[in-house]
Structure 1
Amino acid sequence: MLKQNYKRDRQNKTNILSNSNSQLDLPATALFGTDGIRGRVGDLLDEALAWQVGFWTGQVLQQQTDNDLSPVIVGQDSRNSSEMLATALSQGLVAAGLDVWHIGLCPTPGVAYLTSASNAAGGVMISASHNPPEDNGIKIFGSNGAKLSQPLQEAIEAGIRGKAVPTSIQGQGYYVRRPELVQKYVESLKVPLSPNHGDFSGMRVVLDLAWGAAVGLAPSLFRDLGAEVICLHDRPDGDRINVNCGSTHLGLLKTAVNQNSAHLGFAFDGDADRVLAVDCQGRPVDGDYILYLWGQTLRQAQKLPDNLIISTVMANLGFERAWQKQGGKLIRTAVGDQYVQAEMVRTGGMLGGEQSGHILCRHYGIAGDGLLTALHLAALVRQAGVSLTQLVDQSFQTYPQLLRNVRVENRDRRMNWQQCEPLQKTIAQAEAAMGDRGRILVRASGTEPVIRVMVEAACSELTHHWTETLVSAVEKHVAA
């Protein structure tokens, strides 16, 4: 067990207390987006900001725990900037009086699990998830392993912006590297798999590891369970993480599945908190299909209260209507796994997630976990005794859906897009024309400098027409 009385042992620990009085150049808009703080390294994110985030995170976390010896668990992905940011953030935590356990390269859900399974005050992951190598981010977890609540994020940001006064600090903390803890997370993933359905013998699987946090873990997990594993992009590479690979670029995975006659393939993103699948024909299987198939399995086992699935506004109408036809209920939230998780807690829902591959199943974990999801989807296929292709073909037909991203570098204009009257007028025209035949969603990304335009309809002509019209309006009135 990780939960134990923790006493400071000064042996093999390095005091990395650092003072930082750097002036920060902060945007007018909020630092925290839908998945922590994220931005271009050297622009928004640098050592000075990371130190401040660490210090004020320490201040806030100390107010949430009665145990002043509780450490903070810090993990990171493979980006070139991750070690620098993790070190600076750890310095801030130490300066705030907290000990740091730095576990090194690890998936984001690994940090969440280890935080919840220990007596940690909280956890921090340094990663920009699916973003390109030049970006990075900071995700913060409470002691229960859940993403830190919005009020606590606001308290951290208030301190960073000089709107709060530090509380008294009773000495400095200490820093220690604990990479061995990652294996405890790996072992936890195997526990829920039954002896029968957790045997992948005879299954050939292709894994696209995106040069990221899953490289040292996913292949051994599948091999330990008997699968034949073929790997793509299977070493940590900060220059190439997510570049034309992983869950946002499935082309190479599709080719590898076909060339190797694999039963299925999985593509992770840089921090492995999401996963998408590919069937034996090379067809993508997104989060909507994963939720539908896993939901059916849980419902049959009477483990899905009220037949409820929590998803987001991005969930395809075809998925929603097929699930409702079976007597299921679907609740949509804003985009972001923290919103899905909050709604699951509020409603008692046990399964939720996003089309992009963030899947949360509270029977087995507390965070979106790509490795856990991939293992359970493979087990589901083994249990069904048919191919993933057959399962998908028997599920539902998606409505034609297009998603376009329009890059908007100006952060203030991007976050205030709803105040653009010409764009709002175009959106209203599109919604009136679509009626109940489809949906329109325009939103500012909380993780990338883009405005996302999504249109879906039963008629592909409508989908293409209004997608192009809305994208043009964003380019003309917001991005220009």
Structure 2
Amino acid sequence: MVTSPVRTQGFRRSERLHWPQQKSPPNVSLFALPLVLPATHLFGTDGIRGKAGDFLSADLALHVGFWAGKVLLSLASVPGPVILGQDSRNSSDMLAMALSEGLTLAGLEVWNLGLCPTPSVAYLTGITDAVGGVMISASHNPPEDNGIKFFSSEGTKLPSALQKQIEAGLRAQRGPAILSQVQGESYQRPELLQGYVQSLWRPLQSVDLQGMRIVLDLAWGACVQLAEQVFAQLGAEVICLHDQPDGDRINVNCGSTHLDSLKQAVHQHSADMGFAFDGDADRVMAVDAQGRVVDGDYILYFWGQSLRQAQKLPGDLIVATVMANLGFERAWQQLGGKLVRTKVGDQYVQEEMLSSKAMLGGEQSGHILSHHYSLTGDGMLTALHLASLVRQSGFSLAELVDQSFQTYPQLLRNVRVEDRERRLNWQECDALNNAIALAQAAMGDQGRILVRASGTEPVIRVMVEAADTEVAEYWTSELVSAVKQHLAVA
């Protein structure tokens, strides 16, 4: 483990975080209060996520912080701090204070970065002697939601086994928790973020983006204080949208899941390309000069080609998820490459990459992992490297898209299912399984169907991919109706 030079900087005790409206930390009696937990797993595919103030309360965050602190301390050979960051949601300050208090009651010191992208927490956790990292964000979810993501001391997502240990502590607690004899303190450390920014520039020192006009949609979220300087430093002319921290509007009709405003701005400013980040900036979607969406499949294809030509892609292997388009898979195979699919979720992509020693992987949604540069998904890093390879190719992004592959029509619909038990156990519904089997038999090898419960939102996702658009539309409609009829009823 490399200790960062910034680790030697002194703490400013005047900046210690305090529990809201209290002169001293909460006492042990708070831990004796009953804690309401869901009957099913607390952790989803990307940490803990839910409606802030309801499911995701300050009380829950306090307890989670305490038990996470106990687990992280048990793994540390030498006690170190926990790196804490947050996005711009209105509830993030409240959850940061509660989590911080729980972590310090467990005996840990907390370094609070404040507003920052998720990958900055992962990076700084990995290069310092921190015992772990925590990010408060619900990623692309609407403003009323929030979430808690944990990172290991290496800067990777906390393994599911350790998440289960945290949850076991929460569920087993019946009386007052046993607090650490030595309680930690929390400090504001936003200056550490410049080390993260330098890490983005370091592998691109020879790259000059001068003459490129790039639009950035920052989604009123976590990267609003960093993204413009990151691109401008490499010479690009940068135009920013939604570039202030706004907890009421984060992800609302903007960012990586709502690309209309980015398309309009790219056209209006005659830009070479545009990038839209999600609320915590760990994923990115691109738009070319013609307004076409360049999603994670295209990014993997272009980056894969570049790495393959440089002989930096072992086995010509890319790891993607079941959502990856068939057009991308077949085009990559025609180049002699290999594509391995996993379940949806960057943690599954990461697990497969580590298992197979793959260096490039990601999701169609724009969550890309390149182990050459980072062990976690990073929207700004991905965008910088895509802009760089476009410059080095001698073609425009639009020309690269024209030369790449034709996607199969792929329709994705979300059906809201509030009943958590019914949603997570949808595979037990015989009527829905019969509808899926009928659709699969009808399409044969000319299409694919994927029905799954979201790990981040209260929805069932229905994806139908087919060579013929009308076929895809028909079976999407049929399956959405089946989900509504058999799962979404009151």
Same fold by TM (over 0.5)?
Answer: yes
What residue is the counterpart of 1:125 in the other structure?
A: 135
Aligned match of 1:51: 62
Shift of 1:431: 1.2
- 2:16 maps to which of 6, 14, 33: 14
Question: Contact conserved, 2:16 with 2:188, CA < 8 A, in 1?
Answer: no
In the alignment, which of 132, 139, 153 is matched to residue 143 of structure 1? Answer: 153
Aligned to 1:99: 109
**Which is worse superposed, 164-173 or 141-150?**
164-173
Structure-2 separation of matches of 1:13 and 1:240: 28
The corresponding residue for 2:22 is none
Q: How big is the shift at 1:278? A: 0.2
1:32 is displaced (CA, Å) by 0.5
What displacement does 1:6 show? Answer: 6.9
- 1:139-288 equivalences in 2 (<5 Å): 139-162=149-172, 169-195=180-206, 198-288=207-297
Q: Please list the CA deviations of residues 232-279 of structure 1 after superposition, one character each: whole Å capped at 9, or x if unmatched.
A: 100000000000000000000001100110000000000000000000
Residue of structure 2 equivalent to 1:427 = 436
Decide whether the 8 Å contact of 1:127 with 1:271 is kept in 2. yes
Structure 1 SS opposite 2:203: coil
Measure, in 1, the Cα distance between the counterparts of 2:12 and 2:404: 57
- What do the CA deviations read for 1:395-433 (whole angstroms, capped 9, x no partner)? 111000000000111111111111111001111111111
Tell me if the contact between 1:264 and 1:279 (Cα under 8 Å) persists in the aligned partners. yes
Q: Provide the rounded CA distance (Å) in 2 between the counterparts of 1:154 and 1:445.
A: 19
Question: Does the alignment pair 1:82 with 2:99?
Answer: no
Say if 2:423 and 2:460, in contact at 8 Å, map to a contact too.
yes
Cα deviation for residue 29 of structure 1 reads 1.1
Counterpart Cα distance in 2 of 1:322 and 1:18: 58
Q: What is the distance in 1 between the residues matched to 2:415 and 2:302?
A: 32
**Structure 2 counterparts to residues 376-395 of structure 1, below 5 A:** 376-395=385-404
Residues 1:372 and 2:385 are matched in the alignment = no
Q: Which residue of 2 aligns with 1:112?
A: 122
Q: 1:294 to 1:32 in 2, by over 3 A?
A: same
Aligned residue-pair number? 477
The equivalent residue for 1:37 is 48
CA distance in 2, matches of 1:155, 1:109: 24
Q: What pairs up with 1:334-373 in 2 under 5 angstroms?
A: 334-373=343-382
Question: CA offsets per residue over residues 38-93 of structure 1, 9 Å max, x none?
Answer: 0001221010000011001001001111112x000000000000010011000000
Contact 1:47–1:88 under 8 Å retained in 2: yes
Answer yes or no: is the 8 Å Cα contact 2:256–2:278 preserved in 1: yes
Residue matched to 2:77? 66
Q: Is the partner of 1:125 in helix, strand or coil?
A: strand
Q: Deviations over 1:106-142 (max 9, x none)?
A: 0000000000010000000000000000000000000
- Tell me which residue corresponds to 1:313: 322
**Structure-2 separation of matches of 1:81 and 1:339:** 28
Q: 2:299 maps to which residue? A: 290
Query: 1:400 aligns to what?
Result: 409
**2 CA distance for matches of 1:434 and 1:176?**
58
CA distance in 2, matches of 1:261, 1:8: 47
1:3 aligns with 2:4: yes
Rounded to whole Å, the distance in 1 between the matches of 2:412 and 2:26 is 45
Contact 1:307 1:327 in 2 (8 A): yes
User: For 2:13 and 2:102, how far apart are their aligned partners in 1?
Assistant: 21
Percent identical residues: 67
Aligned 8 A contact 1:298 1:304 in 2: yes
The one-character-per-residue Cα deviations of 1:354-374 (angstroms, maximum 9, x if unpaired) are: 000000000011110000000
- AA matched with 1:3: S
- CA deviation digits over 1:191-237, x for unaligned, max 9? 01141xx2110000010000001111111111111111111100000
Q: Which moved more, 1:452-461 or 1:157-166?
A: 157-166
CA contact (8 A) 1:208 1:245 kept: yes
Q: Is the 8 A contact 1:158 1:164 kept in 2?
A: no
Task: For 1:386 and 1:315, locate their aligned partners in 2 and report how far apart those are by CA, in whole Å.
Answer: 25
TM-score normalized with structure 1 length: 0.97
Partner of 2:474: 465
**Distance (whole Å) between structure 1 residues aligned to residue 99 and residue 280 of structure 2:** 18
1:436 counterpart letter in structure 2: D
SS of the residue aligned with 1:479?
coil
Which has the higher mean CA deviation after the structures are superposed, 428-437 or 394-403? 428-437
Greater alpha carbon shift after TM alignment, 17-26 vs 170-179: 17-26
Corresponding letter in the other structure for 2:4? K
Conservation of the 8 A alpha-carbon contact between 2:49 and 2:147: yes
Is the 1:15–1:173 contact (alpha carbons within 8 Å) kept by the matching residues of 2? no
Contact 1:59 1:167 in 2 (8 A): no
Q: Structure 2: which amino acid aligns with 1:156?
A: I
For 1:282, what is the secondary structure of its paired residue? coil
In the alignment, the residues of structure 1 paired with residue 178 and residue 292 of structure 2 have an alpha-carbon distance, to the nearest angstrom, of: 55
Number of the residue aligned with 2:21: none
Aligned partners of 1:106 and 1:13: how far apart in 2? 18
Counterpart-to-counterpart distance in 2, 1:10 and 1:258: 47
Shift of 1:183: 1.1
Rate the CA distance shift 1:247–1:176 in 2: closer, same or farther, 3 A: same
CA displacement at 1:18 relative to structure 2: 2.3
| Inter-CA distance 305–160: structure 2 relative to 1 (3 Å threshold) | same
Q: Aligned partners of 2:233 and 2:15: how far apart in 1?
A: 34
- Counterpart CA distance in 2 for 1:13 and 1:179 is 11
* Corresponding position: 1:299 with 2:308: yes
1:306-337: CA deviation from partner (whole Å, max 9, x where unpaired)? 00000101000110111111110111111111
What is the alpha-carbon distance in structure 1 between the residues aligned to residue 187 and residue 47 of structure 2? 24
User: 2:120 and 2:243 mapped to 1: Cα distance?
Assistant: 18
Deviant stretches of 4+, over 4 Å: 4-10, 163-168
Give the whole-Å Cα distance in 1 for the aligned partners of 2:236 and 2:17: 44
